[in-house]
Chain A
């Protein structure tokens, strides 16, 4: 069964450093998403991406965050200057169309120290 692949599985970074989280969505999917989950809390929407541009973003997705699809297969989330409160699980997801269920990756656990 096709999977969404995320790397790394765990990233530890110092406060103020830049991090890039990587995702390889399912190959024929057109819609891409990033979500995050702070430990013990619910999954929160960050951003959606379609046709090489951001479709929608939440209030969490401020100027420190950016997304990119640098080639035909990767989808990245960059946090320019990490803060302690950015520590969370970050999930990438992709979908084949509007109004359809997503496939989530296994996540990257980001720990900011």
Chain B
């Protein structure tokens, strides 16, 4: 995914507040999207995914929204906690085999 306009490389959020992380993807034919969380020194960790036949999917404290019209994906984290501090990447599956990652947003949670 690429980042155009709405993407912010960093996000500082007060503990307990909601976080919204945005991502713009590049291929209108992509049909599967994933959000990953990466903590320092670790590999990407799956958070939530969504297919193109849906526009919203909810998990535990997280919600992913997909707007295919403008090729935009967002991740909402409810009641952000210190453990949510990490880099968040969106990824689009371009075909059956590979993921294309966005640039990442570093989320810092203030106590």
Contact = CB atoms under 8 A, between A and B. Distances in A.
Nearest to A6: B43
Contacts of A93: 43
A65 interface: no
Contact of A42 (B32, B93, B98, B104): B104
B97 A106 contact: no
Interface string B17-55: 000000000000001101010000111111001000000
Contacts of A35: 99
Interface of chain A, helix or strand or loop or mixed?
A: strand
A4 B42 CA distance: 12
B103 A102 contact: no
B101 A43 contact: yes
B63 interface: no
Interface string B78-99: 0000000000010101011111
A101 B42 contact: no
Contacts of B93: 99
A56 B46 contact: no
Interface of A: 4, 31, 33, 35, 42-45, 48, 50, 55-56, 58, 91, 93, 98-99, 101-107
Interface of B: 31-32, 34, 36, 41-46, 49, 89, 91, 93, 95-104
5 contacts: A42-B104, A43-B89, A48-B97, A48-B98, A103-B46
